Amino acid sequence: MKIPVKNIEETFEEIAGPEGVQVYRLLKNKEDVNEFNIAEKLKITINQLRNIIYKFEKYNLLTSIRKKDRKKGWYIYFFTLNPKQIDDTVVQLVRDKMSIIEKQLDREKAHQFYLCPNRCVRQTIENAMENQFMCHECGSLLDAENNDKTINKMQKRIEELNIKLKELSK
Ligand SMILES: [Zn+2]
């Protein structure tokens, strides 16, 4: 499995925003990178950098070691990316998205939905019946909704994610 850089950077962006991608690029193919060097290159504070690193750590995307600066007396962190875990995370995030949409799709298929003409509420038929098909926000009568388009969109999205997964596992 060789995950394309494009997908890896996409994942870092999802996890930690555009600055996350920049941090990734500075760490790539290096070992024990001094946090002060990264912060300086990106013109961000150490705290801003640590916030980004914290997001990486939630996914174990890197390891860190800490050394005491003898002169200044404070600790400096050194970071090394964890490539295997990065690859796994790229795939895992796609799977997570897919499973969320699959759940939503099941719900769309399992229920008839009712919609307020003013778009205040959207309810399953069971809930709409309890309120005599009246919108509890504006009092309008709810309309039965045709959710075929929503279902189609979700199915397309699942197909796209499936294709992506296949490409990633080549
Ligand atoms: Zn309403």
- For the chain, domains (ranges, CATH) are 5-81 (1.10.10.10), 93-168 (no CATH)
Alpha carbon of 47 to those of 38, 50, 56, 93, 144: distances in Å? 12, 5, 14, 26, 52
- If pLDDT is split at 50, 70 and 90, which confidence band does 94 have? very high
Q: From the CA of 15, how far away is ligand 1's center (Å)?
A: 37
- If pLDDT is split at 50, 70 and 90, which confidence band does 169 have? confident
Residue 1, pLDDT above cutoff 70: no
Q: From the CA of 128, how far away is ligand 1's center (Å)?
A: 12
Q: From the CA of 141, how far away is ligand 1's center (Å)?
A: 8
> Residues 131-153: pLDDT tens digits?
999 999 999 999 999 999 999 99
> Residues 103-113: pLDDT tens digits?
999 999 999 99
Q: From the CA of 130, how far away is ligand 1's center (Å)?
A: 15
Q: Name, of 66-70, 71-75, 101-105, the range with top average pLDDT.
A: 101-105
Q: From the CA of 148, how far away is ligand 1's center (Å)?
A: 22
Alpha carbon of 101 to those of 86, 107, 161, 169: distances in Å? 23, 10, 10, 21
Q: From the CA of 53, how far away is ligand 1's center (Å)?
A: 44
> Residues 5-47: pLDDT tens digits?
999 999 999 999 999 999 999 999 999 999 999 999 999 999 9
